[in-house]
Structure 1
Amino acid sequence: MSERHDITAVSGGRVREYLSEMGPSWVAGAIAAGPASMASLLTAGASYDYALLWVVVLSAVAGALSQYLAMRLGLLTERGVVGVVEDHLGEWWAWLLVVDVVLAAGVAQLVIMKTVASVSATITGTPAWVWGVVWALVLALGLAGRGYRLLELVAKLLVAGVVLAFAASLLVVPVDPGAAAAGLVPTLPANSALVAAGILGGAVHVTLITMHSYTMRARDWTREDYGLATFDVGVSMLGAFGVYSVAIFLVAASVLTDPSLGTVGAAQALGPLVGANAQWLFLLGLGGAAVSTLGGNTIVPPFVLADKLGWETDVSDARYRGLLAAVALLSAPGAFVGGAVLGQLVLVLALGTVGTPFAIAVVLYLLNSDAVPESNSAAANLGGIALLVVTGALAANFVREQLSGGFAPLAGAVLVFAVLVALATLGLLVQYARDRPTSGDAA
């Protein structure tokens, strides 16, 4: 090929055009900027003041890098990731990736619906279970009827609104600039490793990595759109998601002192502390984030399942449309789930993070194989390996935390899943070492 597709493909003279055309990475950003990430950020700020600000900034960088690698694979193959895996690794590997994604996204869907219903009930006074049914019907009718483009439009509007709401809340919250600056210096306070892992785990997640090839296909992006796609990742993950994360963290570090409040509780606590304006800005931001996350997460299982079954991954295929409606409607029971939402959000991050190293390993393997016309640069590979190491450590921490209470059924299920995914990841690395290409243009 005449030019190598790398991050330098972004052309400064085309920024205005890119701003009007970007979109797929905003759907991934809508999922990342959700209740689980918010719970980790609130816990970090309320527990350790500004000390973990550097982790918050790092999470945006890591999220952008993982999206960039997924984007690169999707554009260079111009196919969905599951189909590429089946062709180049085999059917067993493809099914394992599908199970990994469906399990992580399915559990998340129920907890996210619970958060959406709770926020809606807090704002309106209508019972949460009613909102669970309403939102499930809205999802089914909207997504199955209008498809991806409606979701992308809503995601861009909601994420932009959420970022503005949380950024505006900083204007009415007394942030300590000196302490915040000190928090940019890497340090881990005692007992903060798991919280830091949760922050990073919300930005680098198996669902975000696998969905990207399908959202780009929905926009008919090809290799010729490499610069646009790179710009899309940068503005969405580094820009919007970064501002979202930093704003929530700074609010929590500045005024909250109870790390057990949870997302809705934190919003309600701001009223007595710093006034109703901050409370309502935060609550509206939470509501927008939860709704956009719910919509984005809904499309992930249908994408991978339809691809594995050989169906089209858009609403022109009635089978895909049926899958989409089914996932939307099956999210309604989330509003009826009892228990503390913080613990459930930790479980969501645990399952997702346990499955993430395998997804990263798959993407790296394929980007350095004959599945793509040009292999990764050395810099992209180093970044991917760093992500693999970090997410592997996060997964180990989450599994250890789940098992700390003994071998309950839930902890045992997480352990079995973690062992299976770890063995698969190790097997993939061994297979790559054995079958590594001897030619190519890897830098």
Structure 2
Amino acid sequence: MGIVERLRAIGPGAMVAAAFIGPGTVTTASVTGAQFGYALIWTIAFSVVATIVLQEMSARLGLVTREGLGEALRNRFDNQILQYVSVALVVSAIGIGTAAYETGNILGGAAGLETVTGIPASLWGPLMGIIAGALLWTGKYELIERALVALVAIMGISFLIDAILIGPDIGAIATGFVPTVPEGSAFLITGLVGTTVVGYNLFLHASSVQERWAGPEDLGECRTDTIASIVVGGLITLSIMITAAAAFPVGTEISDVGTMAEQLEPVAGTYAKIFFSIGLFAAGFTSATTAPLAGAYATAGALGWDDDLSSTKFRAVWMTILGVGVVFSAVGFSPVQAILFAQVANGVLLPIIALFLILVMNDSAKLGNYVNTTAQNVLGGLVTLIVVWLGIRSLLSLAGVF
């Protein structure tokens, strides 16, 4: 199959990109660019490589075994205690975690629409939730996928145009690919990696590839989709960071991403403000749709439920996650404690999921000739170690130790 045909098959990978480019990513990239200029561009490059390594494994698992990651996790252990612990980790970190983040997704997208229309975000938020719910309720994977691919394209174009309008320093961009760790940047480095290498995306990807492709004979097409989509997602994050780095003096504090668009207008004009707002809306809506879907796939797989998009239990999970976001966004409530729990739980769970994923990908009884190569194991191990190290360094930095 030629490259043009493969690009036409873009789908599950784009859903992964849609999931990790949310308001949290827009916020983190904007804050990083404003505070440290172009210095941390290398972090995005690392995050893209790390995401490709882990997501390729997850997609291969789903394609070859026809199991979701939650299902594979539940079936892996003979010991009942380990089974219960693994299920509890998945349901708490992924199910509750996506519910906690959902409010931010909806409020972020609504803030983008408010900037363009002047209509309050408190009105846009519930409307966005209703539209996302209607899309998921159709139970038609292909329709959901196409809608998200289109929104990723809109998001990418919007943020890229913004980065061009702002007139960045090309030389400084090139220098930013050289790894440096400026004082006080450890927390943001961890944040950039954490908003790209997302635990629930591993569950989403393993399940969504089964909806699109028949089996391992489609692995080449699947890999093209994965790599191309995640690279595009990385370029979107890069565009956001570059925009902030070019727009503001190094050290500028940005407290609310919703005001970022307004701050851009005096620097780059009305169009920059509009494009940023459109991109922020697309980021919020895509994440508001994929987070409940990922939470439902993970929870259904871990509990042994049917993961058909039209099944009652599957719908009940994503409706609960989406409902939490809609209600909290309507009242303007920010579930800070829930989000903090989700961040800690996901931070603990990601290395565990990554290690488990590597373990499963070496199971020849399950995967046959599609087990990991030595190079894939080494890369996966390095990514996991670095994620663990960044998490520890971030915690020590917050505690004032490192």
**Residue among 163, 166, 176 paired with 1:183:** 176
1:331 matched to 2:319? The reply is: no
Matches within 5 A, 1:22-421: 22-90=10-78, 91-92=83-84, 93-238=86-231, 240-257=232-249, 258-335=252-329, 336-338=331-333, 349-369=343-363, 370-374=365-369, 375-400=371-396
CA 1:256 to 1:352, structure 2 compared with 1: closer, same or farther past 3 Å?
A: farther
Q: Report Cα offsets for 1:212-236 as digits up to 9, x if no partner.
A: 1111122244111100110011110
Contact preservation (8 Å) 2:93, 2:342: no
Residue identity in the other structure for 2:137: A
Contact preservation (8 Å) 2:19, 2:201: yes
Q: How many Å separate the matches in 2 of 1:107 and 1:280?
A: 28
Q: Report Cα offsets for 1:373-409 as digits up to 9, x if no partner.
A: 24310110011111111111233244446667xxxxx
Q: How many Å separate the matches in 2 of 1:97 and 1:339?
A: 23
Local SS of the residue matching 1:260 = coil
Q: How many Å separate the matches in 2 of 1:311 and 1:221?
A: 21
Higher relative contact order (CA closer than 8 Å, sequence separation 6+): 2
Aligned-CA RMSD value: 2.4
- Give the C-alpha shift of residue 357 in structure 1: 0.8
Local SS of the residue matching 2:8 = helix
CA 1:46 to 1:158, structure 2 compared with 1: closer, same or farther past 3 Å?
A: same
Q: Report Cα offsets for 1:344-385 as digits up to 9, x if no partner.
A: 988765543332111111101111224322431011001111
- Give the C-alpha shift of residue 159 in structure 1: 0.5
- Give the C-alpha shift of residue 208 in structure 1: 1.1
**Runs of at least 5 residues in structure 1 that lack an aligned partner in the other structure:** 1-12, 405-443
Residue identity in the other structure for 1:241: G
Q: Report Cα offsets for 1:164-220 as digits up to 9, x if no partner.
A: 111111221121112222212111111111111111111111111121111112224
Residue identity in the other structure for 2:227: G
Q: How many Å separate the matches in 2 of 1:25 and 1:262?
A: 29
- Give the C-alpha shift of residue 320 in structure 1: 2.0
Q: How many Å separate the matches in 2 of 1:307 and 1:198?
A: 28
- Give the C-alpha shift of residue 81 in structure 1: 1.4
Aligned-pair identity (%): 23
User: Size of the alignment, in residue pairs?
Assistant: 391
Does 145-154 or 40-49 show the bigger shift? 145-154
Q: How many Å separate the matches in 1 of 2:341 and 2:318?
A: 24
Residue identity in the other structure for 2:299: L
Q: How many Å separate the matches in 2 of 1:61 and 1:41?
A: 17
Query: What TM-score does the superposition give when structure 1 sets the normalisation length?
Result: 0.82
Contact preservation (8 Å) 2:87, 2:303: no
Q: Report Cα offsets for 1:28-53 as digits up to 9, x if no partner.
A: 11011111112121111111111111
Q: How many Å separate the matches in 2 of 1:285 and 1:110?
A: 18
Residue identity in the other structure for 1:163: G
**Runs of at least 5 residues in structure 2 that lack an aligned partner in the other structure:** none
Residue identity in the other structure for 2:245: A
CA 1:218 to 1:138, structure 2 compared with 1: closer, same or farther past 3 Å?
A: same
